[in-house]
Structure 1
Amino acid sequence: MRNLILSAALVSASLFGMTAQAAEPLEAGKQYVELSSAVPVAVPGKIEVVELFWYGCPHCFAFEPTINPWAEKLPADVNFVRIPAMFGGIWNVHGQLFITLEAMGVENKVHKAVFQAIHDGKKLATPEEMAEFLTGEGIDKDKFLSTYNSFAVKGKVEDAKKKAQAYQISGVPTMVVNGKYRFDLGTSGGPEGTLNVADQLIAKERAANAKN
C-alpha cells in the first residue's frame, strides 16, 4: 500500500501540470496498455468504461469534477462502471462501503458526500462510523448495516478484487476500456488527457463492432 501511495505521489508532481494533447495519435505501450487477455464486460453488447478508484485517494478525489460530467454525457452504447480498488486494510473497508451503497441503489445519491467526508478528515473506518455518517445523508442505518454484512455484498467484494487483478492495476485512478485497454492519468497526460484517451478507445471499439 505504501508503494502505491508513493507511486501516486511521484506521478502527481507532473500529471496535473500537463496539458492534454488531443491531436496526438494513440499508441499501445505509450498512452495505454493493451491487456494480454480481455476481461469480460458487465453488459455484453455495450462498450464498457471502468474507473478503478479509492475513496481515500487524493488524485481520485481531484479527478471527480472532470470525470463526472464526462460520464454523465456518454452515449447509450457505453456503460460506465466504477470499481473500488482493494489492496488491503482501509482500501478494502472503503471498497465494501462503495459496493454496499451500490447494492442499496443509493451510490449516486451519496457518492460525492462520502468522498468529500473522507477528504475532510472523517475516517469512515468501521461500518458503524459509516452508518452514523450516512444517517445524516438520509440513508437508513439498519438497512445499511445489514447490507454491508450481507453475503451478496461480500460476494461482490470478491468479484471486484478479481477484476482489479485481471486488469493488472498497480494504483489509482486507473481506467479500462472494454476490458482490453488500461491507462491512467500519468500515461495519458492528466485528467483531460485521460478522458481524451478514453474517447478515442471508445471510438476504436465502436468501429470494430461495426465491422463485425
Structure 2
Amino acid sequence: MRNLIFTAVLAFAGLFGLSAQAAEFEAGKQYTVLSTPVPVSQPGKIEVVELFWYGCPHCYAFEPSINPWIAKLPADVNFHRIPAMFGGIWNVHGQLFLTLDAMGVEHKVHTAVFDAIHKEGKKLATPEEMADFLAGQGVDKDKFLSTYDSFAIKGQIEKDKKLAMAYQISGVPTMVINGKYRFDIGSAGGPEKALELADFLIAKEREAAKGAQ
C-alpha cells in the first residue's frame, strides 16, 4: 500500500510539474508549432534536433549547457545535431561536421573544432586546412579528405538542407522537438530556459504517446 501511495505521489508530482511548466511556456511565444510536422529519423523515439553552425558564437556559448543535458537524456529520446547551411562558410563547416559524423569521430573532436574557430582564430575554410588541423586531433588526414568529397556526404548535405527548410529555421542555435515544435535560444529566454523548454516538450510528447496507446 505504501508503494502504491508513493507511486501515486510521484505521478501527481510529475503532472503538477508539467502543468506548472505549461503555464510558463506558451505556443506562439517561447516556441512555434510547425504547421506540417517533419518525420523523425527513429520512429518510436522522441527526437531532439539541434541546428547549429561551428562559426556561431551563440552555438559555442550554448555548448557548456547543452552537452551535460544531452549526456543525461533518457533512452526514449534520440538526440542529433544538424548543421545549418545558409551558403558560403556555413556550407563548408556543415560539410566538415557531416564528414566527421560519417567517420564516427565527431564526438571526439566536436569541442576541439569549436575551440579552434572561437579560441584559436582558425577559419577551417578549406578541406586541406581542416585535414591538417584534424590530423593533430588523431583523425586520419587522407581518410578525411576522401570522405569529405564523397558522394555520400554530398547526398547528406542535400538531405539536411531540406530538413532545415522543413523546420523553417532562420538562425541558430535552434532546437526542434519530435518534428513538431521549434524554438531558438532567444525566444526560450536563454540557454537554461531553452533546455527547460526542451524538457517540457519532451514530456508533452511522452504523455501524448501514452494517451494514444
Decide: shared fold, TM above 0.5. yes
SS at match of 2:39: coil
Structure 1 runs (4+) deviating above 6 angstroms are none
Residue 77 of structure 1 aligns with an amino acid whose one-letter code is D
Q: Tell me if structure 1 keeps the 8 A contact 2:172–2:184.
A: yes
Q: Structure 1 residue 159 and structure 2 residue 159: aligned?
A: yes
CA deviation map 1:88-139 (0-9, x unaligned): 0000000000000000000000000001001121000000000000000000
Provide the rounded CA distance (Å) in 1 between the counterparts of 2:102 and 2:47: 19
Provide the rounded CA distance (Å) in 2 between the counterparts of 1:126 and 1:40: 33
In percent, how many aligned pairs have the same letter? 75
TM superposition shift of 1:190: 0.1
RMSD of Structure 2 on Structure 1 (CA): 1.2
Residue 190 of structure 1 aligns with an amino acid whose one-letter code is G
Provide the rounded CA distance (Å) in 2 between the counterparts of 1:171 and 1:164: 10
Residue 115 of structure 2 aligns with an amino acid whose one-letter code is Q
1:187 alignment partner in structure 2: 187
Q: Tell me if structure 1 keeps the 8 A contact 2:21–2:200.
A: no
- TM-score, normalised with respect to structure 2: 0.88
1:17-96 correspondence to structure 2 within 5 Å: 24-96=23-95
2:103 alignment partner in structure 1: 104
Provide the rounded CA distance (Å) in 2 between the counterparts of 1:184 and 1:141: 35
Q: Tell me if structure 2 keeps the 8 A contact 1:34–1:182.
A: yes
Residue 135 of structure 2 aligns with an amino acid whose one-letter code is T
SS at match of 1:143: helix
Q: Tell me if structure 1 keeps the 8 A contact 2:46–2:202.
A: yes
TM superposition shift of 1:25: 2.6
SS at match of 2:121: coil
SS at match of 1:182: strand
Residue 188 of structure 1 aligns with an amino acid whose one-letter code is A
2:169 alignment partner in structure 1: 169
Residue 49 of structure 2 aligns with an amino acid whose one-letter code is V
How many positions carry a matched residue from both structures? 192
Q: Tell me if structure 2 keeps the 8 A contact 1:131–1:141.
A: yes
SS at match of 1:52: strand
TM superposition shift of 1:60: 0.2
1:15 alignment partner in structure 2: none
Q: Tell me if structure 2 keeps the 8 A contact 1:22–1:193.
A: no
Residue 157 of structure 1 aligns with an amino acid whose one-letter code is I
2:211 alignment partner in structure 1: 211
Q: Tell me if structure 2 keeps the 8 A contact 1:174–1:185.
A: yes
TM superposition shift of 1:23: 7.8
Higher relative contact order (CA 8 A, sep 6+): 1
5+ long unaligned stretches in structure 1: 1-20
Provide the rounded CA distance (Å) in 1 between the counterparts of 2:141 and 2:80: 26
